[in-house]
A and B are shown apart, each in its own frame.
Chain A
């Protein structure tokens, strides 16, 4: 089992759950520890129940699970919901004035903090949070100094008086815990490493910046808004134009306009906004103007559950916009991959002048992961494809924007270059850009244009790496997942191996192109295959079947809005290998 330590912090929205999370994340990554954090919340600004789970350890942590070692309830509701998640050796650290946690499980310590005697609560409403952070640090065997600079940075905007007060409070909590509470059995390790802690949204925004994006626009929509926030905050320094547009129809079209003028251009949204963009996606394909669209999936349909995760948009991506056209769709495997995928997809869309979709989900978009800063490479390979940016580079022939070529790719000129004027069009057109849709439709030219565009599909497949099987070649069970299930399946495989069930894992990162032949080759050797996905109907399973005729032995699905835990998959694999079912739908045990 992976050595890890899990902290849960919960309260009503507005009680300040986020800032202890930020502080702990810094404490741990500066100790060279890995972390994975997930915040379960609702679409309210005040009230409701927000529950942040942060799992920490020396090796990479691919998922959170349903166990806790430390619970910090900021209200009674949180204690009532989650006390039972504490495992033996764990502790509940709470405000003794306001919270009565009840009876915990075997070996779980109750650690009441006398908040009103340690702090002046009439002045500081979130005193309990800071006291608890200090106390927790003491119990985890972490020196106090590390906290001071983090608190200073956290409260910088509020001035030195606030910083001082919080440092004092944290110190009081730290000292109180040192004298009154038993430390955890194993102190938190310390390594030489240093990590960055970031969300998938931040990672995608930074990855796009690294890829050379110069234009970003969006309309706010959870869980994609974090991309806009990073861009808006850093756009001026990064020299990126950032715009909030009136709606998602405007967003995609504005992004296409900027791309047409010659810059790398991107936008992000969630399922509902993406639906509004779909006609624009077709424009990108038909006019052959590359644009990258991020779809951060949330639980649908319609407004759905805006703050909950799902992998339910795959078929929308596959079917977005009418007509046949080349597109690429990639699902990042984890938060680090949210960064590294961006330069790759920009290169593919630029080379093949087609739309590219990054299919992310709330779990990655709003989760937090420790990432080695070396992964955040701001000098990636940039391939802008056949782009004419100045005159004199042509072959002397009159310029034809949609020239028929063996690869299907026609050199693209940016507007402003003398001697290359032409019209790009959403209507079908000939090589010259002249419409063949109105007065003289021409079936031969239409066919030639269709075939020219669709020839790009072959080039795209060759440009993208096929999927690879992870783990032993021969295994009792082969788990197939796509996108954000990567981390949880990897850990499930380890847990299965400890239980003497060998498991391997085929994570799918590129959905289009799929490399169906490679997948068939890999799955053909498998003994028992199970497809794991966060949706009701098995969208990937159905897609794989439609592309390859492959039918898996079983399925594990979840569509309650919450992510998989490793144990969900372990239990499901066991029941399926025992022949009890072919479809497992794990129940979520954390009450959020």
Chain B
């Protein structure tokens, strides 16, 4: 047997640097999200090989290629079911899901609602640029009313979805909103999301500098207000969170809207996982059990 690789007992930013440079446009908000995720993993000291970063398809979904963990670049909108499968088969892994607003709130919205109600222990980071970036600038489920995009040249006539309210209604147990230009705050939100047992949704304003000229860093900066700055805000109250989720305009709250602790996650609800991660369990059915299964039929 060859020698075993002894893993270093520290995780550094250098470890997590991807093997290729991000192909995002200079100034894309997603750079800030990448840095925040890497910092969060370093601060939490999670070894890179115990992390699985799973994405859909989109500019933002190229994320797993730019961070050195186990990664998977799946199909447009399908990151959450793939991630759920990974987590159920090996709940020892820290599973991060990264993607865009189109990926998560458009094509993948059905999976999102069900992942949230299941409370599967995933940390879902949506790089919400209110536009379809990779397909060169069409309207997205979070594009504001009247916004002009390539697919709405006369202005969008559909109401955007409210991801925070949607998550609260669907039963997500950790709901937060970050701003990619507010690194420290975002890093904290991601750390808390990873530490949270159960599903966490972190909707991140991550401006697209190429196709969305409405919702820019300059537009967001004066508007975002951290919930953490309000000492009276109670993130354990669903009603308070729902109320805050409605605020949009001159003031836009960011931060941890809601966290419900003590709620069992899906893995904890499954007795089959009491024997340890599925992937480490025996796959041989003992003869005695096999005999019982056959005898039922005789």
Decide yes or no whether B1 CB sits under 8 A from chain A: yes
B75:A243 contact, CB within 8 angstroms: no
User: Given A421-B68, A424-B72, does the pair A263, B81 have CB atoms closer than 8 Å?
Assistant: no
Cβ contacts A103-115/B at 8 Å (1 or 0 each): 0000000000000
When C-beta atoms are compared, the residue in chain B nearest to A389 turns out to be B279
Q: Residue-by-residue, is A427-461 near B (CB-CB < 8 Å gives 1, otherwise 0)?
A: 10000111100110000000000000000000000
Contact A236–B271 (Cβ < 8 Å): yes
Neighbour of B75 across the interface among A29, A279, A432, CB < 8 A: A279
- B212 located at the interface, meaning its Cβ lies under 8 Å from any Cβ of chain A in the complex: no
Is there an interface contact between B2 and A394, defined as CB atoms closer than 8 Å?
yes
Nearest residue (CB) in A for B48 is A421
A239 within 8 A of B: yes
Cα A240 to Cα B49 with chains together (Å): 25
A379 at the binding interface (Cβ < 8 Å):
yes
Find the residue from A247, A255, A257 having the highest chain B CB count within 10 A.
Answer: A257
- Smallest CB gap from B79: residue in A: A253
Q: Are B57 and A257 in contact (CB under 8 A)?
A: no
Q: How far is the CA of A194 from the CA of B298 in the complex (A)?
A: 8
Which residues from B are CB-within-8-Å of A417?
49
Q: Are B71 and A215 in contact (CB under 8 A)?
A: no
Taking a contact as CB atoms under 8 Å apart, the answer to whether A215 and B278 are in contact is: yes
Q: Does A254 contact B (CB under 8 A)?
A: yes
Indicate which residue in B5, B90, B113 contacts A415 across the interface (CB closer than 8 Å).
B90
A127 interfacial by beta-carbon distance below 8 Å: no
Q: How far is the CB of B194 from chain A (nearest CB, A)?
A: 16
Closest Cβ of chain B: how far from A210's Cβ, in Å?
6
A residues in contact with B14, CB < 8 Å: none
Which of A195, A262, A280, A423 is B65 in contact with, Cβ under 8 Å?
A423
Considering the complex, give the chain A residue whose CB is closest to the CB of B113. Answer: A246
A143 to chain B, nearest CB (A): 18
- Contact A30:B272 (CB < 8 A) given known A249-B81, A416-B49: no
Asked if A258 and B89 make an inter-chain contact with CB atoms under 8 angstroms apart, the answer reads yes
A280 CB, min distance to chain B CBs, angstroms = 7
**Interface pair A196/B294, CB less than 8 Å apart:** yes
* In the complex, per-residue mask of B83-110: 1 if CB is within 8 Å of any chain A CB, else 0: 1111111101100000000000000001
Closest CB of chain A to B89's CB: distance in Å?
A: 4
Indicate if B232 sits at the interface (CB-CB under 8 A).
no
What residues of B have a CB within 8 angstroms of the CB of A265 in the complex?
A: 85, 89
A246 near B114 with CB under 8 A, answer: yes
Give the Cβ gap from B80 to chain A, nearest Cβ, in Å: 8
Contact: A421 with B110, CB < 8 Å? no
Within 8 A of A (CB), among B248-298: 270-273, 275, 278-279, 281-285, 287, 289-290, 292-294, 297-298
Query: In the bound complex, what is the Cα–Cα distance between A580 and B275 (angstroms)?
Result: 66
Given contacts A250-B111, A255-B85, A420-B49, A195 and B298 within 8 Å (CB-CB): yes
Report the Cα distance A419→B285, complex, angstroms.
32
Number of A positions contacting B (CB below 8 A):
81
Separation of A438 and B135 alpha carbons in the complex (Å):
12
B191 within 8 A of A: no
Closest B residue to A434 using CB positions: B20
**Interface size class for chain B?**
35 or more
| A residues near B273, Cβ cutoff 8 Å | 241
When C-beta atoms are compared, the residue in chain B nearest to A382 turns out to be: B283
Task: Mark contacts of A234-277 with chain B using CB atoms, 8 A cut-off: 1 yes-contact digit, 0 otherwise.
Answer: 11111111010111011101111111111111000000000000
Contact residue among B5, B93, B110, B283 (Cβ-Cβ distance under 8 Å from A419): B5
Q: Are B74 and A414 in contact (CB under 8 A)?
A: no
A261: nearest chain-B partner, CB-CB? B89
A283 at the interface (CB under 8 A from B): yes
Q: How far is the CB of B179 from chain A (nearest CB, A)?
A: 26
Chain A residues with Cβ below 8 Å from B23 are 438-439
| Min CB–CB distance B3 → chain A (angstroms) | 6
Inter-chain contact A258/B88, CB cutoff 8 Å: yes
A425 vs chain B, min Cβ distance (A): 4
Give the distance to chain A from B186, nearest Cβ to Cβ, in Å: 23
Cβ-neighbour of A262 out of B1, B270, B279 (below 8 A) = B279
Nearest-CB residue, chain B, relative to A420? B49
Known pairs A263-B279, A416-B92, A423-B70; list 20 more (Cβ under 8 Å).
A196-B294, A246-B113, A253-B75, A259-B85, A261-B89, A261-B90, A280-B78, A376-B290, A392-B1, A396-B2, A421-B49, A421-B68, A421-B71, A423-B73, A424-B72, A425-B73, A426-B57, A433-B71, A434-B19, A438-B62
Q: List 15 interface pairs A-B (beta carbons < 8 Å), by A numbering.
A: A241-B278, A243-B88, A253-B74, A280-B75, A379-B284, A391-B4, A394-B2, A416-B49, A416-B70, A416-B279, A423-B73, A425-B73, A427-B73, A438-B23, A438-B62
Question: Which 10 pairs of residues, A with B, have the shortest CB-CB distance?
Answer: A257-B85, A212-B283, A378-B290, A261-B89, A392-B4, A423-B71, A257-B82, A196-B297, A415-B70, A258-B85
